[in-house]
């Protein structure tokens, strides 16, 4: 029998307010409300509110928590400061190449516990949560580290857009508001938002400024509605997974199951920054798959990830072939993600293409339902938010 879909603490709110609900990674989630394009543009112009409670939220605590995570993640943890967040990969040393990418994740170091022991958190993809938790549990030491999955008892809300930070700060006491306003990218803090305690990180998946809040499941609706009410006059709207995907495509952010997969070469994807193959002192770091990743680094892959901007609105999808112009048999790559992109006003894609076809401006064809659509290689990200006035 098929297992029933999981529901976030906001699922009933979405259904009651016009969200079109779909099965996503075993969760019932809103793909859109009125229009993906309207939600996308509202996020770029003001702010969009996204329920991302399906993402896995794990805590790692105990006196050996930092050392243990440092031995497992591709990103260094030993020099992670309290309040700092890093993008990382979770890898195993299994598979034919000696490394398998289990997921990409965010790791944060929170304020230390009262006894001085470190506290860390991980946010992982919904589709990979079970296997990442199982993998981490299989590597737990006998003592000194506790791993807890808080996904079902909490909610996670992403507020993204040029007004996002001021909206959330405006719902906080003065001291908390000032701390949020001063928070740098990939930093985290705690605050009281709309009268409820929240963990806040200045991160996101849209290319816009913004924050992500983790609150108790019982507080989710109150916090969600407070942010919407505060932003209503500015055009802030609830958004579904559809707009989240078009926003992240414009922002050139990889998605597991599309750009990223178990057999991926992270260097070819432009994710070398998330692979700390050396410790802070320059000595080799050892973590699952490190030896295979060193070999990948020494022997660059034939294909690399690029952005593609199309000449029209017809969108290629994952798996569409990329060819030389006018020659459908001269295949040079494969599309990993594609869509119409509202900010750009045209279709766009990310793809893995041969290195000799990856130079900026290179004309290429995308094969869409047996016909060619012209495109050109463009640097990632395809969209950069305007600089904030100083």
CATH number at residue 165: 3.30.1360.120
In a domain, 129, yes or no: no
Residues 29 and 169 in one domain: yes
107 found inside a domain: no
pLDDT at 95: 87
Instruction: Judge if 229 and 310 occupy the same domain.
Output: no
Domain membership flag for residue 334: yes
Residue 282 lies in a domain: no
Among the candidates 250, 271, 293, a domain finishes at: 250
Rounded to two decimals, what is the model's pTM?
0.97
Pair 309, 243 in one domain: no
Task: Tell me how many domains the chain contains.
Answer: 2
Q: Write the DSSP symbol of residue 315.
A: P
Same domain, 310 and 244: no
Is the residue at 68 inside a domain?
A: no
**For residue 46, is it within any domain?**
yes
Claim to verify: residue 308 and residue 166 sit in the same structural domain: no
Do both 49 and 164 map to the same domain? yes
Q: Are residues 306 and 233 in the same domain?
A: no
Domain span including residue 362: 302-378
48 and 162 housed in the same domain: yes
The mean pLDDT values, 10 residues at a time, for the chain of 390 residues are 90 98 98 97 98 98 97 96 98 94 98 95 98 98 97 98 98 98 98 98 97 98 98 97 98 98 98 96 96 97 98 97 97 98 98 98 97 98 82
Torsion-angle region of 221 (φ positive above 0: left; ψ -120 to 50: alpha; else: beta): alpha
Kindly report the CA angle at 20 between 152 and 339, in degrees rounded to 5?
Answer: 100
| Contact of 366 with 328, CB cutoff 8 Å | no
Q: Which residues pair with 104 in a beta bridge?
A: 89
Domain CATH number, residue 313: 2.40.30.110
Q: What does R_g of the chain's alpha carbons equal in angstroms?
A: 21
**Residues 231 and 362 occupy one common structural domain:** no
Residue 374: in which H helix or E strand, if any? strand 371-378
Asked, for residue 126, whether it belongs to a domain, the answer is: no
Q: Is it true that the peptide bond before 318 is cis, omega within 30 degrees of 0?
A: no
The pairing of beta strand 196-201 with beta strand 188-193: antiparallel
Assess if residue 106 is contained within a domain.
no
Q: Which of the listed residues 210, 233, 250 is the one where a domain comes to its end?
A: 250
| pLDDT, tens digit, 9 for 90 and up, residues 338-366 | 999 999 999 999 999 999 999 999 999 99
Residues 240 and 355 in one domain: no
Boundary-marking domain end, from 250, 266, 285: 250
The pLDDT value given to residue 210 = 97
Cβ neighbours of residue 138 under 8 Å, at least 6 residues apart?
Answer: none
**Residues 336, 192: one domain?**
no
Tell me the pLDDT tens digit for each residue of 7-34. Answer: 999 999 999 999 999 999 999 999 999 9
Rounded Cα distance between 316 and 303, Å, is: 19
Shared-domain flag, residues 363 and 226:
no
């Amino acid at each position: 029998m098929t297992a029933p879909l999981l529901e976030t603490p906001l699922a009933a709110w979405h259904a009651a307010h016009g969200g079109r609900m779909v099965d996503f990674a075993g969760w019932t989630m809103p793909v859109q409300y009125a229009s993906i394009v309207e939600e996308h543009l509202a996020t770029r112009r003001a702010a969009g509110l996204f329920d991302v409670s399906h993402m896995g939220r794990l805590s790692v605590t105990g006196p050996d928590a930092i050392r243990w995570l440092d031995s497992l993640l591709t990103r260094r943890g030993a020099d992670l400061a309290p309040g700092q967040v890093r993008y990382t990969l979770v890898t195993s040393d299994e598979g034919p190449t000696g490394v398998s990418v289990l997921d990409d994740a965010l790791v944060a170091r929170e304020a230390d516990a009262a006894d001085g022991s470190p506290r860390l958190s991980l946010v992982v993809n919904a589709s990979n949560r079970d296997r990442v938790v199982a993998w981490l549990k299989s590597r737990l030491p006998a003592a000194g580290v506790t791993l807890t999955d808080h996904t079902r008892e909490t909610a996670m809300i992403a507020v993204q857009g040029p007004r996002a930070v001021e909206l959330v700060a405006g719902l906080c006491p003065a001291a908390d508001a000032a701390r949020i306003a001063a928070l740098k990218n990939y930093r985290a803090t705690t605050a009281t938002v709309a009268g409820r305690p929240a963990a806040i990180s200045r991160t996101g998946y849209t290319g816009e400024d913004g924050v992500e809040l983790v609150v108790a499941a019982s507080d989710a609706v109150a916090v969600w509605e407070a942010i919407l009410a505060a932003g209503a006059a500015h055009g802030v709207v609830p958004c579904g997974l559809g707009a989240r995907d078009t926003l992240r495509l414009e922002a050139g952010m990889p998605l597991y199951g599309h750009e990223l997969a178990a057999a991926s070469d992270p260097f070819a994807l432009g994710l070398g920054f998330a692979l700390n193959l050396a410790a802070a002192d320059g000595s080799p770091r050892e973590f699952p798959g490190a030896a295979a990743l060193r070999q990948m680094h020494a022997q660059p892959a034939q294909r690399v990830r690029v952005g593609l901007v199309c000449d029209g609105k017809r969108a290629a999808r994952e798996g569409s072939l990329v060819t030389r112009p006018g020659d459908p048999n001269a295949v040079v790559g494969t599309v990993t993600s594609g869509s119409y992109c509202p900010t750009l006003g045209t279709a766009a894609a990310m793809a893995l293409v041969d290195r000799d076809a990856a130079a900026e401006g290179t004309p290429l064809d995308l094969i869409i339902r047996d016909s060619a659509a012209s495109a050109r290689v463009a640097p990632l990200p395809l969209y950069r938010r305007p600089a904030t006035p100083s």
